[in-house]
Structures are given as C-alpha cells and as structure tokens.
C-alpha cells in the first residue's frame, strides 16, 4: 500500500511540475464562449465560440449546439466566415448572419447544421444585425443609410479631397468619426419560394426620413429591439436627438411601430434617462431597463414592465440594486436577471405579480449571460481564474453544473493563481471589499512585489471578471500579488456607494486606493519597497493622480488611456453628459473651477518623481490621445524615466491580437524593470 501512495505522490509531482504558467500567448489560445440560449422546446442550447489565429491577427466565430437530453455537443458551422446574431426560430430552426456568400446575408438551418439555406440576397446593403419575427413571416434588420452630405457630395470635382466640415457636436464617437450614416431598422417580409426556400424581400424603413439611429450607437445592436408575440408590432430603442443635444443627454425612449398601420408612438415619454432592451413575456407584458436621471450613464438600472393596458410598473424601484441582463421565464410570471453584488455578478429571480425578488446564487464568480426553461437557468459563468463556460443552474435544487468545456483541457495544463476576498476599513469608517490575487505556488514565507489595480468606469465593479488584456490572473502568474479594491464609486454595494465618486474623482476614491495598498503592504509576504499602480480609463486617471499624491509608496506606474488634464479632456471628449455629470459641467463656470483644480492630475505634476509607462490609442475619442501625450511630455520634461506606447489604430481598448501581445510584453517588461518579481 505504501508503494502505491509513494507512486501517487511521484505522479502528482510530475503532473504539477509539467504545468505551465499563464502567458499572454496562452490567453489568445483560449476559446471565447458567448451567448447560450435554450431552444423553445428546451431540448437544445445554442452558443457561439470565437477562436483567434495570432499569426493571421484575426479571429473567427462558429456556432455550437448542445443537445441537453443526450448531453452531446455539436459544432454546426465551420467556415472561415464569422457566424453571428444566431437565434431560434420555429421548430428549432436557427437563423443567423454570415458573409459566406454575397457579403453579409441572413441564413437559416436546422439545429444539427443541416439544410442550410441563404434567406437574403441583399445588394449594396450594409447589414449590421437582425431579428426574425415569431411567425417567421418577416425580419427586422439593422441597416446603415446615408443621412448627411460629404465633401465628395458637395464638391464632386475634388475627387482627392478628404476634408471634413462640422457644424455640430458628435462628429466622432468612441473610436470612429461620424460616417454620415445612421443605423435604421428595416422590416423585410419573408416569402417562401417554390422550392421551399425562405427569401427576404426589400424592406420598409421604420424611421423613414429621420436622422436618428434605431438603436443606441455605437455599441447597441439587436438586443435593443423586439417583436410583439403576434409579430404585428416592433418595439425599438432610440435616442432621437442630434449633435450637441445628443452629446448632452442620455434620454433614450422605447418606440412602438405598428406594422399594419405604419405608425409609431413613444412608450416611455416622461422618463428622462436611458430606456432600452425591450422584451415581451409569453403573456404579452413588455419589460425593459430604465434609468431615471438624464445625463447619468451609470445610474441605477431599474426593471420596468408595461401591462397590456399600458400601465407602467417599476418592479425594482424599492430595491437598492441595479439590473443587468434579464430574460422572461416561458410561463410569463417570472423574470430572471443578473446584478452586481459585493464584487460578483449573481442570478436573481423576480415574481412579476408579487414583486418579490430573491438572490438565487452566491459565490466567487460572475454570471455574464442567461436563458431559462422550466426549472433550469443556462448561464455563462466566469471568474478571475476561469474563462467563460456555460453552466446549468437548477432553481429548486440550487445546483450548478458545468455544461461546456471550451477551455477545460487548456486550464488543466496551467498553474493558476488564487483570488481571495478581504474586507478592510476605509478612512471614513466604511467597509470595502478588496480582491487579493496571489501567484501560483504562493509561499507566505517569501516576499512578493504587489500591484494596485485601479478600475475604470469610474462606476464599474471590480468583479470576478476574466479579461483578455487586464487579466489579474496573468499579472499574478508573472509573480505579482494583485490588490484590487472596490473603491468608492462602484455598483454592487448600494446606490450611495456607486454615486459617491461623482464630482469627487480625486477625493475619497484615492484614499480608498491608498488604504488598500497600505493594508496589503503590512503583510509579511508583500515587499513594501516594490509596489506599483496600474489602470486604464478612470484607472489611468487614478494612476496619474496617485503619481502626484502617493508620498513615495510606489516604485512604478502604468497608465492606459487615462485622463490627465480634465480641462483639455472636457474640450475634446464626445459624450458630454458623462463629463457634465461626473465633473459638474464646464470648467469655465465659476461653480466648477475649484472642482477641476482639486481633481485634475495635471495640477499635481510638480510632485511627480516615479517612473511611468503611458499607453494610448490614436482612435480613442472618449479619452483622446492628447491626454496621454501631455502626461508623457510632463514626465519627460521633469527627467522622470518614462515611455509612451502608442497604438494609432486602436481606440479605448486594444482589440487586435498582435497589438494586444505588444501591450502585454511592454506592460510586463516595464514592471519587471522597477519591481523585479
């Protein structure tokens, strides 16, 4: 018996020694699962899986179906063209978009991938998304149409001119200049050809003559419109504002388009914030997400319903919770949704009749998608040390089971870090959650360098997210202890905590950061002489701010797309409602001058004395590249060791695979120079 025990330990030791550490390259080898919608009869689960070719610098998405009765997974597409917008139709058919033929077109096939047929033959059409009607007699498609004159239109003889003329704001948005197009919704009837093939005919524009989008640009899509159950009406989301008015407001509305009469009416007139993402129950009740305050993009997301008599009820008004993704139960009596809770994203159930809400799950993970049938929820789940896989959650038994294994074999070959929660007291006597991420094979008898991770948003929870760039497990795998506080201004800890950061960017949140790193530095396994601070967006702002107030705590900094000079940023950013809400308005107003002076990092540059890596994208119009240039130039003129990593074609995020690898290599090379793990 002893021989078997010894042999077992030898095999275990060999297995552990053969395991690798997580690397940037391995991140790009991981398959990325999304979606996970159950078929109308509950038999199949449809999801997407995206993989990347690092050498080719591109990715491709295929469709998979899991037979829930047979517990068998089948890949149903395998083309070099990404399949997208996959959705269930009648009799478990699957509708989707693909560029396999004639550009992006709409296709239909069986759940086993057979009998695939092209259902549209659109010419010169920029198709960007669609939904099929419940009766499959029509589709609504997102199509780009031209609404503004270009230089070429005005001066057709100047064929090489590439100038732009602007007479209003919102001429650029997030990562692109206005393309003079708007994303309208078109209703296309479907006819059945003699050979049984479904064909989409030319469409009717739901926003004929309107210079607005039928979705919320630039990131909104088909989740922002839906059919009524009888296929006779279409509900869509639109912010029918232009230029400066669009830049200053978040007031979107839900509109109902009646297919028979061709008329449109506003369903949410009176609510001043976002109204979006409509969905009908099986009983014909409309639900959607709604924010009450105009201009506050991170306001509490409330869940509202409209009964068949037109009465609107706010189901979550009295709950101190913000609602994320949601879906109806097929019985029409229950809504399931995801919401942030204490540094995680959990599943909740809401009874529409009683208004009773209960939290279903708890644990150190995030749910990122959900679909429901019977007593089972099918949900994408991830954590700081696990990429997304789809799980089933049995409601009555409170039981989770993993259904997909897109990365299971790869994860088995890796020695992964461990994340633990820690609650500490802030300078104003409140409790704050800090995620501590420890390197693989962590030894408390050793000394480790530590990184303070500064979250963006600013109202964006430090949850159990698995990122493919700001990956805390990857940082820990490089030998760093990661300290990730849920500082002031994040959801999941009540609305008061979320709202506290507005107009106080450089105040209590900075104290929270310093409290978190000071607490960690007291541990015997943290080397207080090797501390760094890193972050992007508001996290990049935080790094710039900390550089001027840290009193020599940190040995190095990394700031990506950070806000450096709040006055210059206000003059160049695009969605001004965000700047107005969080900064109080323009810097030239007397009432705001003290706020800008107190909270702008550039006013503290005189105290800078620490090496800093500045990273920025040339197509970042939320935080324009000049912010990074100013920070780098200040560091250079002060004689501080500094580097500027610039990506001309990237926006607020680095999305190209090879650019991402450059980002990671430069990031860790910089940290190693000063912190030497």
In this structure, is residue 568 part of a structural domain?
yes
In this structure, is residue 275 part of a structural domain?
no
Task: Say what the pLDDT of residue 52 is.
Answer: 97
Of 13-17, 75-79, 412-416, 667-671, least confident by mean pLDDT is 13-17
Residues 619-665: pLDDT tens digits? 999 999 999 999 999 999 999 999 999 999 999 999 999 999 999 99
Smallest CA-to-CA distance from 619 within 565, 655, 578, 570 is with 655
In this structure, is residue 273 part of a structural domain?
no
CATH number of the domain to which 639 belongs: 3.40.50.1820
Residues 481-494: pLDDT tens digits? 999 999 999 999 99
Alpha carbons 660 and 653: distance in angstroms, whole number: 9
Q: Which helix (H) or strand (E) holds 52?
A: strand 44-53
Residues 578-592: pLDDT tens digits? 999 999 999 999 999
Residues 65-108: pLDDT tens digits? 999 999 999 999 999 999 999 999 999 999 999 999 888 999 99
Residues 248-259: pLDDT tens digits? 999 999 999 999
In this structure, is residue 391 part of a structural domain?
no
Q: Sheet containing 32-38: which strands, arranged edge to edge?
A: 32-38, 44-53, 58-67, 72-75
Q: Which structural domain range is residue 637 located in? A: 415-675
DSSP letter at 119 equals: -
Residue positions annotated with a catalytic role: 537, 620, 652
Smallest CA-to-CA distance from 642 within 544, 572, 505, 516 is with 544
The model carries a pTM of: 0.94
Segment 277-295 shows an average pLDDT of 97
Segment 465-482 shows an average pLDDT of 97
Place of tokens 């503290």: 604
Instruction: State the burial class of residue 299 (Cβ atoms within 10 Å of its Cβ: 0-12, 13-18, 19+).
Output: buried
In this structure, is residue 454 part of a structural domain?
yes
Q: How confident is the model at residue 9 (pLDDT cuts 50, 70, 90)?
A: very low
In this structure, is residue 627 part of a structural domain?
yes
In this structure, is residue 35 part of a structural domain?
no
Alpha carbons 553 and 529: distance in angstroms, whole number: 8
Core vs surface per residue 86-97: b (16+ CB within 10 A) or e: bbbbeebbbbbb
Task: Say what the pLDDT of residue 593 is.
Answer: 97
* 217, two tokens: 């640009």
- Evaluate if residue 194 carries a pLDDT over 90: no
Smallest CA-to-CA distance from 77 within 114, 129, 43, 42 is with 114
Task: Say what the pLDDT of residue 13 is.
Answer: 40
Q: How many domains, in total, are found in the chain? A: 1
Alpha carbons 27 and 29: distance in angstroms, whole number: 5
Instruction: State the burial class of residue 473 (Cβ atoms within 10 Å of its Cβ: 0-12, 13-18, 19+).
Output: buried
Alpha carbons 97 and 107: distance in angstroms, whole number: 6
Alpha carbons 31 and 47: distance in angstroms, whole number: 12
Most distant CA pair in the chain, distance: 91
Smallest CA-to-CA distance from 391 within 409, 407, 403, 375 is with 403
CA dihedral 348, 289, 90, 184 (to 10 degrees): -150
Residues 536-573: pLDDT tens digits? 999 999 999 999 999 999 999 999 999 999 999 999 99
User: Which ranges in 522-575 belong to alpha helices (H)?
Assistant: 538-549, 566-570
* 171, two tokens: 């001429």
Residue 230: how many CB atoms within 10 A of its CB? 12
In this structure, is residue 51 part of a structural domain?
no
Q: How confident is the model at residue 8 (pLDDT cuts 50, 70, 90)?
A: very low
Alpha carbon of residue 68 to chain centroid: 28
Task: Say what the pLDDT of residue 80 is.
Answer: 93
């Amino acid at each position: 018996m002893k021989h078997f025990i010894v042999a077992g330990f030898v095999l275990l030791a060999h297995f552990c020694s053969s395991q690798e550490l997580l690397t940037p390259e391995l991140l790009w080898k991981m398959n990325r699962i999304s979606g996970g919608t159950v078929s109308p009869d509950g038999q199949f689960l449809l999801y997407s899986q995206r993989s990347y070719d690092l050498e080719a610098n591109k990715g491709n998405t295929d469709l998979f179906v899991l037979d829930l009765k047979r517990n068998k997974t089948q890949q149903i597409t395998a083309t070099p063209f990404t399949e997208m917008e996959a959705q269930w139709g009648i009799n478990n058919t699957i509708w989707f978009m693909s560029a396999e033929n004639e550009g992006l077109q709409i296709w239909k096939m069986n759940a086993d991938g057979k009998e695939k047929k092209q259902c549209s033959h659109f010419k010169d059409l920029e198709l960007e998304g669609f939904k099929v009607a419940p009766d499959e007699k029509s589709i609504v498609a997102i199509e780009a149409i031209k609404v503004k004159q270009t230089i070429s239109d005005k001066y057709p003889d100047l064929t090489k001119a590439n100038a732009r003329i602007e007479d209003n704001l919102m001429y650029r948005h997030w990562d692109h200049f206005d393309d003079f197009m708007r994303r309208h919704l078109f209703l296309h009837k479907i006819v059945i050809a003699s050979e049984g093939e479904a064909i989409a005919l030319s469409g009717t524009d739901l926003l004929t003559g309107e210079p607005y989008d039928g979705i919320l640009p630039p990131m909104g899509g088909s989740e922002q419109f839906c059919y009524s159950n009888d296929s006779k009406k279409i509900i869509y989301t639109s912010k029918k504002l232009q230029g400066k008015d669009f830049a200053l407001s978040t007031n979107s509305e839900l509109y109902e388009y009646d297919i028979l009469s061709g008329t449109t009416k506003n369903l949410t007139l009176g609510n001043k914030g976002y109204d979006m993402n409509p969905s009908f129950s099986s009983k014909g009740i409309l639900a959607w997400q709604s924010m009450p305050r105009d201009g506050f993009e991170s306001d509490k997301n409330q869940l509202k319903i409209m009964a068949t008599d037109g009465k609107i009820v706010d189901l979550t008004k009295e709950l101190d919770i913000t609602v994320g993704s949601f879906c109806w139960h097929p019985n029409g009596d229950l809504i399931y949704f995801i919401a942030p809770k204490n540094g995680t994203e959990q599943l909740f159930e809401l009874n529409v009749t009683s208004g009773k809400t209960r939290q279903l799950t708890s644990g150190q993970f995030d749910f990122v998608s959900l679909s429901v049938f019977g007593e089972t929820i099918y949900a994408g789940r991830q954590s700081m040390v696990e990429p997304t896989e789809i799980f089933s959650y049995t409601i009555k038994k409170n039981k989770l089971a993993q259904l997909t294994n897109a990365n299971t074999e790869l994860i088995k070959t890796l020695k992964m870090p461990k994340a633990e929660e820690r609650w500490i007291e802030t300078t104003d006597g409140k409790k704050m959650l800090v995620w501590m991420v420890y390197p693989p094979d962590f030894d408390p008898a050793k000394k480790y360098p530590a990184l303070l991770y500064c979250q963006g948003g600013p109202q964006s929870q430090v949850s159990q997210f698995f990122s493919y760039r700001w990956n805390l497990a990857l940082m820990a795998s490089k030998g760093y202890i990661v300290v990730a506080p849920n500082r002031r201004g994040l959801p999941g800890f009540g609305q008061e905590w979320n709202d506290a950061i507005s107009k106080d960017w450089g105040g209590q949140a900075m104290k929270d950061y310093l409290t978190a790193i000071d607490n960690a530095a007291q541990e015997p396994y943290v080397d207080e002489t090797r501390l760094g601070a890193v972050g992007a967006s508001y996290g990049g702002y935080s790094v710039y701010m900390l550089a001027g107030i840290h009193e020599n705590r940190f040995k190095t900094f990394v700031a990506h797309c950070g806000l450096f000079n709040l006055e210059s940023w206000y003059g160049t950013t695009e969605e001004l409602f965000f700047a107005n809400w969080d900064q109080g308005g323009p810097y030239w107003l007397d009432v705001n001058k003290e706020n800008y002076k107190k909270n702008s990092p550039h006013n503290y540059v005189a105290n800078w004395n620490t090496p800093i890596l500045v990273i920025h994208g040339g197509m970042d119009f939320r935080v324009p590249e000049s912010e990074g240039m100013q920070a780098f130039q200040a560091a250079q003129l002060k004689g501080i060791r500094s580097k500027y990593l610039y990506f001309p074609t990237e926006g607020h995020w680095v999305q190209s695979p090879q650019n991402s690898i450059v980002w990671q290599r430069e990031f860790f090379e910089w940290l190693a120079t000063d912190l030497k793990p």
